[in-house]
Amino acid sequence: MAQYTPMMQQYLKIKAEQKDAFLFFRLGDFYELFFDDALKASQELEITLTSRDGGSNDRIPMCGVPYHSAENYIRQLIEKGFKVAICEQVEDPKTAKGVVRREVVQLITPGTVMEGSMLNEKENNYLASLSAFPDGSYTVSYNDLTTGENSVALIPGGFDAALSELYSRPVKEVVVASDFQDSQKEMLADRLGYTVSYQDETEIQTEFHSLVKELHQDKLLVGFGRLLNYIQHTQKRTLGHLQPVSVIELKEYMTLDMYSKRNLELLETLRKQGKAGSLLSVVDKTITSMGARMLKKWMERPLLSQDAISERHDQVEGFLAQFFERETLREELTSVYDLERLAGRVAYGNVNARDLVQLRNSLNRIPGILNTLSQFDHPSIRELYETVNPLEDLKDLLEESISEDPPITIKEGDLIRDGYHTQLDEYRDASKNGKQWIAQLEQNEREATGIKSLKIGYNRVFGYYIEVTKANLRHLPEGMYERKQTLTNAERFITPELKEKETMILEAQDKSVELEYELFLEIREKVKAFVQELQNLADQISRVDVLQSFAQVAEANQYVRPSYGEERIVDIKQGRHPVVEKVMQDGTFVPNDIYMDEETDVLLITGPNMSGKSTYMRQLALTAILGQMGCFVPCESASLPIFDQIFTRIGAADDLVSGHSTFMVEMLEANHALSNATENSMILLDEIGRGTSTYDGMALAQAIVEYIHGKIKAKTLFSTHYHELTTLDEQLERLKNVHVRAEEYEGNVVFLHQITEGPADESYGIHVAKLAELPEVLIDRASQLLHQLENTSAGDEAAATSETDEQLSLFIEEQKEKPAEKKANPSSIEKQLKSLDLMEMTPMDAMNELYRLQKRIKS
């Protein structure tokens, strides 16, 4: 330390406490970064790297960003997963003795961002904590600092289950204990892309006990305590907007693991990782950003309670029945700002006057929304209407106090309406009258001197002055004004009367701005008292927005209300894929029925590639999810059981981060389904076993089907190209064969996309390759090879017979030479069986060999 200047010593001491963050060190009008921070920031932000003398022999690397534009640079770092510590001057430089005192006033991290420009308005910004316990269970806690929302879940199923739970929400940062397993930290950071932070303190301070009244388990308290302490450590300010912690009862929601959410493309597509083409893009007709966030939450957690599902369906039905009232409601919602995040900014203390204007304008729309809701006939909509509190007192406060068009900053004045505060009105009147007096004085002096160019001006150095050009100085009587300043082309003067008025005007202006700032802080404190009611109002308006969105989607796309029963029967008439049918806007989408009674658990689906097997499977899962989240569904009618979980294995991709091949990923996802599914679950398995050899894959596929059929009994759609598996319907009584129709016409395959009972009779693989426009010479060669292979297969028996005859003739000749030896002639299959060394074979190798020999015998 001794080798550095006092200021650099101060920097190093503060930096030692913020090792994992970029330290934005305030120096005048700039935030400066030094040493390694400067080297890394100059690369990440693409700004100039310089250096400065810090007292040591070597110059210190340095870069900086202007204070007024720092937010943009901070956002870039946060988006890349970094943290930024804001270090401000907390002492007036004029009164400081030595180095100005500085402190970190805020630590901005990916999970604790509050600035609107750094946030996606239609997505929550969650900070999460993950706590592990000796019995293998975990707690996952969530906080959205922008809204104050808090929740916690107990995960008994191990780390993979905890990962799936984290994946269910848009988490940006995860807080763990410092001794958390390294391998698991790497998975959080590398595989899921989270910023990993550390907090060991878990005790909840007395001031926050009101938040955890519903937490009756020590594990939940520890999990949320870790999260809360991290928030306190980073934010260093009041957290009055934090809402009581809600316990996520996982048994109340359908479980959608991370594989299913990805494979079904609920929130984003696999290929482009964007909203367009996802289920969300079809059903999101919300108007407000807070409604859009609630819709995502509902999609991530479909309901299991039939009563709760029915309540949402009733409300959608009510909105759907009255088109004109619904359109009026949508217009009213257009002018409602993000009440949820505005409430957070109020409590957080970073709300400005324009935010309060947005809040006031939003509250002004609530009576219109209530009036429209009252016009709906359905009783469920009337119930919604009766729960909304319009917060008239808060609206009146903002109407009386905040001006129509205030500035962005809160220290420039013009924030408060005339008539709100008597003293402020007096200051404004003095300032206004003083300026009128100045204007009148200027006119009087022009008339008195006859100098039409005479003017009265103002600057911060000299205050008000009378300015006369040098050409007109001869018209001034000697001693009329007191000389103040000489310019190249003019002289400036003052008078005692002008200085007196100047004092009055400037004092009034200064006092007015100072008083306005104090009044604004008082108003902000008064608004804070309404934060909880604002959060409740935001929740109610969000719910209205999502439900009207569902009605809008149902009307535009001809969705119907599904029914639910106790029986495990799936009966969907003319079902459609909600996303694919929107892409195929020419009306060519082919709907299909899906029927699985209580005696059918598995549909084995065969058919060529590109025929629609995966679409058929996905549309069942998406229909189930839409229905249980409260939306109507794409079909003519639907009767469904309530599914507790959905597991999918659709598509194939290597997991390069974890080093897993396509086949390993396939097996891991299949194992996850087989290990966790119940008879009330849905399982979708597409082309299981294709990532390995034919015999391996076929054996695994059959074993998996048999396991699901015999052990799990979940409703399962299993697509395959292994046509040999279609004989399973003879052995498994609850398995049914269906296939996707395709016809060959003039040498080309025509996909009909219709699901029909029974197995497919041909795979049409070469025809699909032809559709993909592979080279014609390649297609011809493939056709030749296929013909040869088919002939070889058909000739297996003849080849085997020929081989036996040849061996038999040799054996007979040998017998003629040695008539004493009379031994039975073994067949080639017998010889192969005899040659097998079973003790050296794996069970899978033995199964494959047995299958091959059995196939030869059958042929």
Strand order in the sheet with 748-757: 255-256, 645-649, 682-686, 715-719, 602-606, 735-745, 748-757
Alpha-carbon torsion, ordered 122, 352, 237, 362, to 10 deg: -50
Residue 168 assigned to a binding site: no
- Under a CB-based contact definition with an 8 Å cutoff, are residues 112 and 235 in contact? yes
Establish how many alpha carbons lie within 13 A of residue 250's alpha carbon, considering only the half-sphere containing its beta carbon.
18
Q: Residue 814: name the closest of 804, 803, 805, 822 by CA.
A: 822
Residue 613 assigned to a binding site: yes
Task: Report the alpha-carbon distance of residue 350 to residue 342 in Å, rounded.
Answer: 10
Residue 659 assigned to a binding site: no
Tell me the two tokens of residue 385. Answer: 């209407």
Query: What kind and span of H or E run contains 268?
Result: none
Residue 614 assigned to a binding site: yes
Q: Residue 49: name the closest of 41, 57, 11, 78 by CA.
A: 41
Tell me the two tokens of residue 568. Answer: 């495990």
Residue 637 assigned to a binding site: no
Task: Report the alpha-carbon distance of residue 785 to residue 773 in Å, rounded.
Answer: 19
Strand order in the sheet with 171-176: 195-198, 171-176, 126-132, 138-144, 149-155, 246-247
Angle (CA) 259 217 111, round 5° = 50
Residue 419 assigned to a binding site: no
What is the pairing mode between strands 482-486 and 490-494? Answer: antiparallel
The gap between the terminal CA atoms of the chain, to the nearest Å, is: 87
Residue 499 assigned to a binding site: no
Residue 611 assigned to a binding site: yes
Q: Residue 165: name the closest of 145, 186, 137 by CA.
A: 137
Task: Report the alpha-carbon distance of residue 398 to residue 391 in Å, rounded.
Answer: 11
DSSP class per residue in 484-545 = EEE-SSEEEEE-HHHHHHHHHHHHHHHHHHHHHHHHHHHHHHHHHTTHHHHHHHHHHHHHHH
Q: Which residue has the tokens 């239609």?
A: 122
- Under a CB-based contact definition with an 8 Å cutoff, are residues 491 and 467 in contact? yes
Angle (CA) 27 33 35, round 5° = 130
Binding region: 607-614
Binding region for ATP: 607-614
